[in-house]
Structure 1
């Protein structure tokens, strides 16, 4: 999150073309509307660790015009490309250096009715910016990957953004909005902003719709509803011009967002309501070198990432929900080196054979996914290989696969079989699911 500063003059930029889960259970029949999935906080933390490593390897920060920022853009863009997003990088010049905005569109939905979500990816020069704003950036990334992992097909078109040079005065987001043709700008019907969601002494603030463009109240209510559903009280806050939503508000686009607090001191009443320490800043490391992965409140991060997903799912329109039941297993299964392990799911109450297009959702955390042979074993013993040492040296295998399981009865025990076929790297099955 930036201070209130004057926005510099920008040169014209170039647009470059350039992934939920408890023990084995059978889900009830799908509700009339799709509920937002739970966002695994461990996955968000893994992204934060990557951003910390990037900063460590690039002079201790990820600031505008510095190599740490461009490396952060590349990390997120590569994950989104692998997940099936259409991505582009928009460049601009500020303070004599080139900055970057990363834009990612999820295929489908009404492109005349866009729901956009964003957060800034740059840090200040003083430190790595893990809470400000690695937290919002990483939560948003994991929600985007979950959109892909669940093959979410909402009625509205989903667009995600990671902004550059916010810390210099909302430079990247202002450049993006100001350079949109009027017709394109009119297609964006709402913008959600996520800037600092894991402050170490957190508050739970929702951007106030007061004084914001018409329609902002819907975004405010969607975010408030998530916290109300988990029994966490919120306060409305007027962030003003301190983050990237301001560029959209000036263009008349409805805005909303959440915020866990920065340099302001937590009051006694707020500490009584939310826990933590009164008389201490929400984030004592705000804009300092100590804003590292040690500066993160994991509970706030978890709640914030879930709030992002909850608001997007609520506001995007549910589209057509799956027609059959969903079964899942979220019990961790370790994958030792050079081993074969299995995770079971017992299916019951589904008549007849399994579908010819059975959806298999996989979340395997591993340091070298090219080691892995992953198969689904049906109750009749038939085996479908869904990944055969694919993905090279990249980590983790997270995605949704489709197999033809029509030859097997649906009811019975299904198994996810994972073989680690090469030495050195290890991991675990974090979760998997079958959607009938």
Structure 2
């Protein structure tokens, strides 16, 4: 969080529920209404915070822009996302003579014309390690993204997660991203969810007063816990949702309070200490891993997952008898272009994959001889399923291949990789599945 907010809080105001429209799901998908958002394990989120604290400790006590601790933080988050099957992009910019980094992570699949983003700034101030501000938001967004992978979630909308650099210097990273995003790409963003300080030690439960649908989604979640919320109206211009809002993107988010004072009325409904700041270590050296309220972190992390699942639509194709894992999201295969992938996440199994792993492939293509197809294991090992052949002139690939994957761990993100090696014919991955 960049600036201290004034010492007043606006009372909650009633808002009108805007209609939230999403395209119909294919018949093979499970609707969002029947796929509940997963519980985000508090222990996992805290493990990320422990890592961020260790990074700060090893790098001069902070994770600020232009310092080694920030780049190490980016590298840590990126490695987790890469291993989980996300497509990651490191966007560079310059501020104050130093190179800054935004990290973007896209989950394969979903409608590319409807993109739901969630983000948090990853940098700290130079005064301290920034574990609440904003390790808390960064860790919760990371663990939500990893939950998408673990559950094999197949949303209707495309999911993109972001970690911003140089927020503490004036929202530099998020402004750079939005300003360099083509207008056609901005129009595809159906919402941006921002999480900046969500585990303050004397916490409040504040919901951004911006897009009505996003706001109501968060309020509905906290209502299920019988936790009253207040509207956060002081955040405009002070965190990374501001550039998106200025560009016309619907925004929303959560906040647990900074350096202004908790009132007696707020303490009565939320607990904590009257007359004390929500975070006495705001922008200070004491913003360490000890400066975290576990209950607030747990509740807000679960609220993030609830919002991502609710606002993205879609579902997870459940395993058939516990043995099949399928992705039914179409992926275009570019003509004579780069390889594309489609992922399925296997979880809950023990040991290695079988020696006779079945890979069912359904690819629509007007000249299948152009196609090279591989199965890529979670550790990156590729198994060739089909080579290209100039004599194979038939349409489509509808086949089941057998792979000896007994040297591979069963759990993880498996990918079908397809490349069109010649010009003039086009197609797409219709669906594919693994049978254990």
SS of residue in 2 equivalent to 1:258: strand
Q: Which residue of 1 aligns with 2:351?
A: 375
1:76 aligns with 2:68: no
Return the alpha-carbon distance in structure 2 between the equivalents of residues 270 and 197 of structure 1: 16
Structure 1 residue 38: Cα displacement? 0.1
1:275 equivalent in alignment to 2:276: no
Structure 2 unaligned segments of length 5 or more: list them: 6-29, 327-344, 358-376, 381-408, 415-434
1:295 equivalenced with 2:271 (yes/no): no
Q: 1:265-414 to 2 correspondence within 5 Å? A: 265-319=261-315, 321-322=317-318, 355=323, 357=325, 361-362=347-348, 374-375=350-351, 399-400=411-412
Q: CA deviation at 1:64?
A: 0.5
What is the Cα deviation at residue 320 of structure 1? Answer: 5.4
Work out whether 1:244 is the aligned partner of 2:240.
Answer: yes
How far apart, CA to CA, are the structure 2 residues paired with 1:167 and 1:235?
A: 25
Task: Rate the CA distance shift 1:124–1:45 in 2: closer, same or farther, 3 A.
Answer: same
Q: TM-score, normalised by structure 2?
A: 0.70
Alignment of 1:140-155 (within 5 A): 140-155=141-156
Distance 2:84 2:110 in 1: 17
Q: CA deviation at 1:322?
A: 2.6
How far did 1:383 drift? 12
List per-residue Cα deviations over 1:304-358 (Å, max 9, x = no partner): 110100000000002455376xxxxxxxxxxxxxxxxxxxxxxxxxxxx764559
Q: Deviation digits for residues 193-228 of structure 1, max 9, x if unmatched? A: 00000000000000012xxxxxx1111111111111
**Change in CA separation of 1:129 and 1:401 when aligned onto 2, cut-off 3 Å:** closer
Distance between the aligned counterparts of 2:322 and 2:256, measured in 1? 46
Q: SS where residue 199 of structure 2 aligns?
A: coil
- Counterpart of 1:235 in structure 2 is 230
1:107-135 Cα offsets, whole Å, 9 max, x none, are: 00001100001010000000000000000
| CA deviation map 1:213-250 (0-9, x unaligned) | xxx11111111111111111110111111100000000
1:74-106 deviation digits (Å, cap 9, x = unpaired): 000000000000001111111111111000000
Shift of 1:362: 4.0
Local SS of the residue matching 2:347? strand
**Which residue number in structure 1 is paired with residue 56 of structure 2?**
55
CA RMSD, Structure 1 to Structure 2 (Å): 2.9
Is the counterpart of residue 162 in structure 1 residue 175 in structure 2? no
Counterpart CA distance in 1 for 2:136 and 2:255 is 10
2:199 pairs with 1:198: yes
Q: Return the alpha-carbon distance in structure 2 between the equivalents of residues 95 and 276 of structure 1.
A: 39
Cα–Cα, structure 1 residues 186 and 259, in superposed 2: closer, same or farther, change >3 Å?
A: same
SS in structure 1 of the partner of residue 114 of structure 2? strand
Q: Could you tell me how far apart the structure 1 residues matched to 2:84 and 2:271 are?
A: 37
Q: Deviations for 1:154-185, whole angstroms, at most 9, x for unmatched residues?
A: 00000000000000010100010001111111
Q: Which moved more, 1:178-187 or 1:277-286?
A: 178-187
- Hey, what does 2:2 align to over in structure 1? 2
Q: Secondary structure at the match of 1:282?
A: coil
Check 1:31–1:152 CA distance in 2 against 1; reply closer, same or farther (3 A cut). closer
The CA distance in 1 between the partners of 2:378 and 2:110, in whole Å, is 33
Residues 257-266 or 354-363, more deviating: 354-363
* Aligned-pair CA distance for 1:33: 2.5
TM-score when scaled to structure 1? 0.70
CA 1:320/1:299 → structure 2, altered by over 3 Å: closer, same or farther?
Answer: closer
Q: 1:242 to 1:33 in 2, by over 3 A?
A: same
Aligned length: 326
Residue 116 of structure 1 aligns to a residue in which SS?
A: strand
SS of corresponding position for 1:293: coil
